[in-house]
Chains A and B, each alone.
Chain A
Amino acid sequence: KNQVEQSPQSLIILEGKNCTLQCNYTVSPFSNLRWYKQDTGRGPVSLTIMTFSENTKSNGRYTATLDADTKQSSLHITASQLSDSASYICVVSEGGSYIPTFGRGTSLIVHP
């Protein structure tokens, strides 16, 4: 069964600090990996989309990495802001069926 595991489950950091969120997956065959930001009670917002051949992709202060060999991804947030407080979700799509598997998310709280 395809699985996407994220760590840590929750994280508290001070404003201005950096942090890294982890995603491990067992989805196979692999199509793409996405990171989303979800504010409480809102729909997810796309941050990055990565394919098998991409190792790194940035979107402003967000940088995602992908190691398709070890089936691991990370999302690095630089110079955190209060508005970064949200759940960050890793989603991996299966090649062929294209059905996405969602992780449970990492809940990030940024304190002033």
Chain B
Amino acid sequence: EPEVTQTPSHQVTQMGQEVILRCVPISNHLYFYWYRQILGQKVEFLVSFYNNEISEKSEIFDDQFSVERPDGSNFTLKIRSTKLEDSAMYFCASSEAGYWRQETQYFGPGTRLLVL
């Protein structure tokens, strides 16, 4: 069964450093998402992406965040200058159609980011 994959599974970085989290969505999917989950807290929506542009973003997704689909398979989340509060599990998800069409979203296993 096709699945969303994410790399790395764990990343430790120093405050102020740039990190890039990578995701490979399911191959025929057109919509891509990033979420984060701070330890012990609820999942939070960051951004949705379609047709090489951001379709929705939350208040969390400020100028230090960016997303990109650099090729036909990868979808990346970049954090330009990490802060301690960026420490969280970051989930990538994909779906065939948009969230509003009640399509199932498939989540990856997550990347646990620790900012020291």
Residue numbers in B under 8 Å from A49 (CB-CB): 102, 104
The one of A42, A45, A93, A102 in contact with B42, judged by C-beta atoms closer than 8 angstroms, is A102
Interface range on chain A (Cβ under 8 Å from partner): 20 to 34
Whether the Cβ atoms of B100 and A44 lie closer than 8 Å is no
Whether the Cβ atoms of B93 and A93 lie closer than 8 Å is no
How would residues 38 to 50 of chain B score, 1 for a CB under 8 Å from any chain A CB and 0 otherwise? 0001111100100
Question: What is the total number of residues of chain B having a CB less than 8 Å from a CB of chain A?
Answer: 23
CB distance from B20 to the nearest CB of A (A): 19
Residue numbers in B under 8 Å from A98 (CB-CB): 48, 56, 98-100
Residue numbers in A under 8 Å from B108 (CB-CB): 43
Q: Which among B43, B48, B106 has the greatest number of chain A C-beta atoms within 10 A? A: B43
Residue numbers in B under 8 Å from A31 (CB-CB): 99-100
Across the interface, name the chain B residue whose C-beta is closest to A43: B107
Q: Are A99 and B45 also in contact (CB < 8 A) when A49-B104, A51-B102 are? A: yes
Whether the Cβ atoms of B42 and A32 lie closer than 8 Å is no
A22, B4: Cα distance in complex, Å = 29
Whether the Cβ atoms of B43 and A44 lie closer than 8 Å is yes
The one of A32, A93, A102 in contact with B44, judged by C-beta atoms closer than 8 angstroms, is A102
Whether the Cβ atoms of B110 and A93 lie closer than 8 Å is no
- Interface residues in chain B, defined as those with a beta carbon under 8 Å from any beta carbon in chain A: 4, 41-45, 48, 56, 58, 89, 91, 93, 98-100, 102, 104-110
The 27 listed contacts between A and B (C-beta, < 8 Å) are A32-B99, A32-B100, A38-B43, A41-B89, A42-B109, A43-B4, A43-B108, A44-B43, A44-B91, A46-B104, A46-B105, A46-B106, A49-B102, A89-B42, A93-B99, A95-B100, A97-B56, A98-B48, A98-B56, A98-B98, A99-B45, A99-B56, A99-B58, A101-B45, A102-B42, A102-B44, A104-B42
Q: Could you list 18 further interchain pairs (A-B, Cβ under 8 angstroms) beyond the known A31-B100, A38-B43, A99-B45?
A: A32-B100, A32-B102, A41-B110, A43-B93, A43-B108, A43-B110, A44-B91, A45-B107, A46-B104, A46-B106, A49-B104, A89-B42, A95-B100, A97-B56, A98-B56, A98-B98, A99-B56, A100-B99
